Structures are given as C-alpha cells and as structure tokens.
Amino acid sequence: MGAIQGPGSSQWSCCHEHGQCQGFVSRKFFEQAIDVLEAKTEEFIGEGEHRFKRLDIINHLRNAIHPSSVLNSSISHHPHQPTGYVADKLAEIFGSTKALNQVYSANGHHLFLLLKGILEREDVGPKSAKSSDEDANDAFDITNRTKTFYLQVHGKDLNGLLGGSSGPVALVSEVNYADLNGRPMDNAFWTQPYKKIVYGKGEILVSLVKLPGVGVHEISHMVTQQTAGTELNEDKHPTGLNYTEDAGGLNEANSDQASLAEDQRTNNQTDPKKANWEIGKGAFKGYPDLCLRNAADPGTADTPYGPDIQKGYANYEDWRNEANKVDPHQSSAVGLKWYHDAAIGIYKLNGKPTWETVEKIRMAALPWCPPDTTYPDYAGNTVQRVKALFSDDHEPVTDAVVKAWDGVGVQISV
C-alpha cells in the first residue's frame, strides 16, 4: 500500500474506489512514534548528522498524519490537438505522449496531486538522458526494474495493465514531494486516481526512492487494483481489493511480497532460507540495519520510534474477530509470514526460488478475489491455483501451501 491517494485524503493515506489506503509507512507507526517521543525528556534525539530536536520531530510527525485536502477537479481535453512546434514545446514541459516511464520533481513543494511538477526524465526524446536530479534517476530505474520483474516473472506489461482498454499509458513517478509545511515528506504512496507514485525526500527517513523495494511495493498496489477480481466478471473488469479488514491486510501483503520476490531475484537469492525477508531496511536515517517489517518473523522489527506494529498480528486467530479495527500494515503480517513459510516449504520439495513458486501462486490467486476477500477465501484461491502451476508435483506443493496457512491460523475456505 500502501498507497493510493485522492481527494479528501491525508498526507499519509490514499483513497480509491474500494476504500482507504496508506503510504509505505503507516499512520499507526507515526502515531506510535509520537507517543514514544513525547514520553522522552531529552531535548535532542539521534546522533551526529542525524541529531534532531525532539519537539521538532514530534511536530513533523503530527503533520504527517494531519488531514489535508487535495485538488478535486477533472481535466478536460481540447478537441483540437496541438501539432508541430507547439506540440514539441508542450512535450518538453509536460512530457511525450509516447513515453512509458516518466519522472517529475515537486522540487520540495507540496503540490496538488493533479499536478506533476517539473519533468526530469522520460524514456523518449531529449529527456531520455540522465537527469541532474539523482532521485529522478533512481525513480526511473525503479520503474524499469518493476516493469522487467512483472514482465519476465508474470508475463504482465504494466503499461498496458494500467491503461486497460485505452491502451498502454506511462508509469509516472514524482520525487522530492513535501508535506504541508514544505518539509521533506517521510513516506511514499501510489495514487490510483492520478496514476502515479509519489516519493518524499525524507526527514527522519531517508529519501525512500533510494530503496528500490519501496517503488516495487507501491507500483504493485496498482497491479493489485488492476488484477484482483478480473476472473469474476464477464468483461474482465478489475474490482481491486478493499483497504479494510482482511482485504486491506492482503492488499498490503501483496505489495510487500512482490518487493521481496523482486529483490531476491535481482540479487540471485535462490534459496529462500538464506534470502532477504526484511522490508524497508535502511529506511531510518542513522540506523542502516533496521527495517520496517520482517516477513520471516513479523513483530520483531523494532525501531527507536517504538516496537514493531506487527507484534501480535502474525496469527489470524488472534485478531480476526476484530478485523475492522486492525491497520492493514498490521494484518498484512499474516500474509507475509505465510508467504515466507510457503516459499521455504516448496523449496524443500523442488529447489525452486521464491519468484518461481509462491510468487506465482500469489499473482494467480488475485484475479479470483472479490474486493472484500477474507484470508480464508484467499487461502482457498491459492490452493486452487497450485494444480495449474505445478502439474508435475502439485500434491506436495499443495500440502506445503496448506501447512503454511495452518501456521498462521488460517483455515482454508474452498
């Protein structure tokens, strides 16, 4: 998630037609960090170049969860399209209509999401060369990495997926985005209404565009929204997943799972027992070894800003009766732990890496999920997809998938 923002939403959250979504860093984390810092008495926190005034950071974090409205308007297209010199000049400013990867910069401003900022780089024309803005180059490379991953692993063209029946459209990134006070935003999010990923520069966090997994996570929210439910409608129209209760946790989990599989594949980590399962590692300034979430052991990713918000949420039985009160970044712990355990279980059977096994199961299940899918329903969908994916050894693979679900307290609904 997370990651879709729209009219009437807050800085950290996002909205789409199926509910509320949050950024890569959840509101629950920010609320907890404020409580932890308010309980301290020191004037400063951190060390060296990452030493901050405690009250300044508290105010900064409060601003990160302050409700704000964004421009709610539509774009009308003039019936006569510009040509020649005028079209060329417009392309220099706004980008080419033929581009499939575009990066804009907010230059440290808090812009209405309808606006894109200044074009820094795209994959066609004069702006195809590297930008002087390194964050823009990082965003450009992350988008290409994500596109390559989905094409080579899942056979999905993300530009075509996003454009739908209208045809391929550009994947747009916006970097150097600020909060309401013009300070560097400590988050990243995907906005479905405006079809772009937005990266903050970071104050207590690093610029999240420096962590490729963040971009893969956010773009994967688009993949989820454009893929879920397509097999449930005759016209193959996607329904997406809600951002509440079980579906919200699955929404977040799918994005984290994709980022983990992409990272393992890029770094040739073929044995899931030895692979990286940490999400957002290096996000905290001054603490390069800390992460936001840990799929191998949810609830153990403590930070100076408080304990891991997933602590106590890795077993479905512990919270399923109060699912409407659980943050999606907490309930995603069930999906993350299942994904980790299933990857290892299947590897023991056939020696195949995560991206060739449980990652394919994850994606194959999404088209059969209604927007309000539950963990038991989703688990049933994963089991049903195994036979088509693993025709030669589907029975032991099914057993490994079921065992992993049992391990997180999910009783499969078939």
| Nearest in space to 18 (alpha carbons), one of 241, 250, 253 | 241
| Amino acid, res. 248 | G
Are 229 and 369 in contact, with CB atoms under 8 Å apart?
A: yes
Q: Which long-range contacts (CB under 8 A, 24 or more apart) does 82-89 make?
A: none
What's the angle, vertex CA 370, arms to CA 171 and CA 342, rounded to 5? 80
Can you tell me the mean pLDDT for 320-344? 95
Can you tell me the mean pLDDT for 171-182? 87
Cα–Cα dist 282/268, whole Å: 20
- What's the pLDDT tens digit per position in 240-253? 999 999 999 999 99
pLDDT for residue 353 is more than 60: yes
Provide the 10 A C-beta neighbour count for residue 267: 10
Residues in the chain: 414
HSE-up (13 A, CA, CB side) for residue 84: 2
Query: Looking at 91-137, which runs of residues are DSSP E strands?
Result: 101-105, 118-122
**CB-based burial label for 289 (10 Å; 0-12, 13-18, 19+):** exposed
- What's the pLDDT tens digit per position in 66-97? 544 332 222 223 334 445 544 454 455 667 78
Residue 43: pLDDT band with limits 50, 70, 90: confident
What's the angle, vertex CA 223, arms to CA 237 and CA 308, rounded to 5? 130
Mean pLDDT for the chain? 84
| Nearest in space to 53 (alpha carbons), one of 226, 183, 140, 190 | 183
What CATH number does domain 13-74+82-232 carry, 3.40.50.300, 3.30.300.130, 3.90.78.10, 3.10.170.10? 3.10.170.10
Residue 386: pLDDT band with limits 50, 70, 90: very high
| Nearest in space to 131 (alpha carbons), one of 146, 141, 116, 144 | 141
Report the top-level CATH class of 245-407.
Answer: mainly alpha
pLDDT for residue 313 is more than 90: yes
> Residue for token digits 């009308």?
76
- What's the pLDDT tens digit per position in 106-155? 888 777 665 678 889 999 988 899 999 999 999 999 999 999 999 999 99
Lowest mean pLDDT among 1-5, 205-209, 381-385: 1-5
Contacts of residue 202, defined as CB under 8 A and 6 or more positions apart, other chains included, come to 184, 185, 186, 208, 285
Provide the 10 A C-beta neighbour count for residue 88: 13
HSE-up (13 A, CA, CB side) for residue 380: 11
pLDDT, residue 383, reads 96
| Amino acid, res. 232 | L
Helices (H), 314-392: 328-350, 358-365, 375-389
Among 18-27, 118-127, 214-223, the range of highest mean pLDDT = 214-223
Rounded to a whole number of angstroms, the CA Rg of the chain reads 21
pLDDT for residue 373 is more than 60: yes
- Between 270 and 201, the more confident residue is 270
pLDDT, residue 54, reads 73
What is the value of pTM for the model shown?
0.85
CA dihedral sign of residues 132, 134, 140, 141: positive
- Between 29 and 375, the more confident residue is 375
**DSSP code for 78:** P
- Please state the domain extents for the chain: 13-74+82-232, 245-407
Cα–Cα dist 360/353, whole Å: 11
pLDDT, residue 204, reads 87
pLDDT, residue 37, reads 76
Q: What is the DSSP string of 227-263?
A: HTTGGGSTT-------SSHHHHHHHHHHHHHHHHHHH
pLDDT, residue 395, reads 93
pLDDT, residue 227, reads 95
Start-to-end CA span in the chain (Å)? 27
pLDDT for residue 1 is more than 60: no
Can you tell me the mean pLDDT for 156-180? 91
pLDDT, residue 86, reads 47
Provide the 10 A C-beta neighbour count for residue 84: 7
